[in-house]
Chain A
């Protein structure tokens, strides 16, 4: 009974936060499959050993995911270089967002493409702020930068997106 309760608890938790964590992991990995590996590693570690730690669990998990992604990248670097040479590029990422219908689908693709064109350092701040709902202080701690730098990157990212998306939506 208790075991079943525990399982439900982690499933509930993961259902609520899993998509955010996955999007976060996608910023630091080469593919959806790698991102899921990283989320699995970080989430299991969190659930087993870090649940009792004080602080915001979302921020803790984001930090854990980033570390797992860096470790994963180190392990996979040789294989990745080989694949990159074979494939001719790194374009194996898949959609960040859930599919939609009609005009919304077109708009989603535009936003996604614009996000992909952002510099990585701006995109990761945007993702952590918008979809993981971290504060600039938490983002700064996670990325090892100052809160002011995090806020600046966020503003630059939004401004760049507005510029890219203006003809369609904001014109």
Chain B
């Protein structure tokens, strides 16, 4: 970049930007204060799933444990898969397919073990009124998450992280009061 462009760039950077209006700050204060109130309220419908007090962690713990068990079972199954008779397979091939240290006494020494399961709720959207079975009205609410599961192999100090987006749709029965 030549000198005159550099000077112009510097001049532009030196300009002071107009700040948000006090009304915008007030509106944000109101909205984020409501959020703070919501966080301290005893009953919450939507909260960050990173909050350990959230009921969603119950579901996530269950899902995390289930995923971990499934992975552990799969790894164990592969590791202990009965091999064909040794006469058909060379020792080198056998070493690749079956870790040498795999003995019943140390089944997890060279395996990936689940170490963390987390999720982040990043959007909640009210999708309006829908009709459910029987013609009743309900509100449909979509919650969008990013789920992350982590496994580690202590021996190799390697880790595996799986991140996946997830939408959760809740249908909440609605009733209308008549005046």
Contacts and interface: CB of A to CB of B under 8 A. Distances in A.
A162 B5 contact: yes
B19 A3 contact: no
B35 interface: yes
Contacts of B120: 49, 52-53
Nearest to A104: B15
Interface in A5-29: 6-7, 10-11, 14, 18-20, 22-23
Interface residues of B, number: 37
Nearest to A52: B120
B12 A111 contact: yes
Contacts, number: 108
Interface residues of A, number: 43
Interface string A103-114: 000001001000
A44 B31 contact: yes
B7 A14 contact: no
Nearest to B50: A52
Interface stretch (A35-43, A78-86, A138-146): A35-43
Tell me the interface secondary structure of chain A in the complex. Answer: helix
A48 B31 CA distance: 10
B48 interface: yes
A152 interface: no
A95 interface: yes
Interface stretch (B22-30, B76-84, B169-177): B22-30
Given A49-B121, A130-B12, A7 B32 contact: yes
Contacts of B162: none
Interface string B104-143: 0000000000000000111110000000000000000000
Given A23-B18, A36-B24, 7 more contacts: A14-B25, A18-B25, A22-B17, A45-B122, A45-B123, A98-B17, A161-B8
| Closest 4 pairs (CB-CB, A-B) | A19-B17, A49-B122, A98-B16, A3-B36
Interface of A: 3, 6-7, 10-11, 14, 18-20, 22-23, 32, 36, 39-40, 43-45, 47-50, 52-53, 94-98, 100, 108, 111, 126, 130-131, 155, 158-159, 161-162, 165, 169-170
